[in-house]
Amino acid sequence: MAEIRLINNLKGILYYLDTPLIDFEIKDRELIKAIDLSNKKLYPVELAVWGVDYGNINDFFKRRTMKEGCMFYKEHLEAINMERFDFDEYIRKNNGNNNIDNYWIRFDEGGAKCFRDIAEHKYMLTE
C-alpha cells in the first residue's frame, strides 16, 4: 500500500540557512497561517513560483523525502527511529531538512535552533 504523504498538522518557521522565510501553521490539512518574514526572498521554487498554499508547501516537503521502496528506505526509517512512515513526524525528525539544499524548519517544541545545529547533526551521522 502506498504511503500517504499529506501534512496533517505542522507548525514552525521555514528558514534558508539562518534567514527566516515563512512562519506557518498547518492544521487538519489546511494552511491556517503563513506570514512572510523575508519579503519573498530565498523562497523555494514551489512557493516562489506557485505561491504559498497548503498544496505547494506539501509538495515542497514531498520532494524532500525518500520515496517508498527506494534503496535503503527501510534502513533509513530505522536510523531515524521510525517503525512506519508518518509524514508529519518525518518532517519533525529531520527539521524539514535534506542533503540537497539549506532549507529547514525551526519548531517551537524543540529540534534545531539554527542551521549549524543541523549541519553538526549531519556530520555526526556520517562519521
pLDDT in tens, 29-42: 999 999 999 999 99
Q: For residue 125, is pLDDT > 80? A: no
Give 102-110 contacts, CB < 8 A, sequence gap 24+. 102/16, 102/17, 103/14, 103/15, 103/16, 103/44, 103/64, 104/14, 104/15, 105/10, 105/12, 105/13, 105/14, 105/15, 106/12, 106/13, 106/15, 106/20, 107/11, 107/12, 108/11, 108/12
Q: For residue 73, is pLDDT > 50? A: yes
Q: For residue 127, is pLDDT > 50? A: no
Task: Provide the mean pLDDT of the chain.
Answer: 89
CA distance 28 to 8: 5
In the DSSP assignment, the letter for residue 11 is: E
Share of the chain above pLDDT 90, in %: 59
Specify the range with the lowest mean pLDDT, choosing from 83-87, 102-106, 117-121.
117-121
Q: For residue 2, is pLDDT > 80? A: no
Where do the domains of the chain lie? 10-126
Q: Determine whether 94 is exposed, middle or buried from the number of CB atoms within 10 Å of its CB (0-12, 13-18, 19+).
A: buried
* pTM, entire model: 0.87
